């Protein structure tokens, strides 16, 4: 009986070793499949990634160009505003003098046709 139980123990140990080999083999196969799937996914994803990155860089360049144009427009506008302010300052005194002269210098002479009409009617 001792021999039979020893034989059963040996069979169990062999079965356990075989089960460990099967499990190790399954894990190795799973690991290899995951590596294959990962590399296949990366290959499939690479063109999409490149396309999206190119699209991103194009949009980034467009935004940068637009920002550059906006900055140029702001500089141009600031220059034009400065020029208008300069013209305003240089012409302000002349305009005030012109308006005051027109308002304060009143011609009190009576036109000749009105004088004649008044003299004939009187």
Reported confidence tier of residue 1, pLDDT bands at 50, 70, 90: low
Mean pLDDT across the chain? 90
Mean pLDDT, residues 106-114 taken together? 87
- Tens-place pLDDT, residues 44-103: 999 999 999 999 999 999 888 888 888 989 999 999 999 999 999 999 999 999 999 888
**Cα distance between residue 57 and residue 67, in whole Å:** 15
Across residues 13-29, what is the average pLDDT?
95
What SS3 class is residue 108? Answer: coil
C-alpha 28: how far from chain center: 48
**pLDDT (0 to 100) of residue 65:** 85
Poorest-pLDDT segment among 19-28, 73-82, 112-121: 112-121
At residue 17's C-alpha, the angle toward residues 16 and 19, to 5°, is 60
pTM confidence score? 0.41
């Amino acid at each position: 009986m001792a021999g039979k139980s020893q034989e059963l123990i040996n069979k169990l140990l062999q079965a356990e070793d075989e089960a460990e080999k099967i499990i190790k083999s399954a894990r190795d196969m799973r690991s290899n499949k995951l590596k294959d799937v990962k590399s296949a996914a990366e290959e499939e994803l690479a063109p999409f990634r490149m396309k999206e990155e190119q699209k991103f860089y194009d949009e980034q360049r467009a935004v940068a160009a637009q920002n550059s144009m906006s900055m140029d427009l702001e500089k141009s506008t600031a220059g034009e505003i400065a020029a208008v302010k300069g013209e305003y300052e240089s012409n302000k005194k002349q305009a005030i003098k012109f308006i005051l002269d027109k308002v304060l210098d009143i011609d009190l002479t009576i036109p000749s046709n009105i004088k004649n009409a008044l003299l004939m009617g009187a």
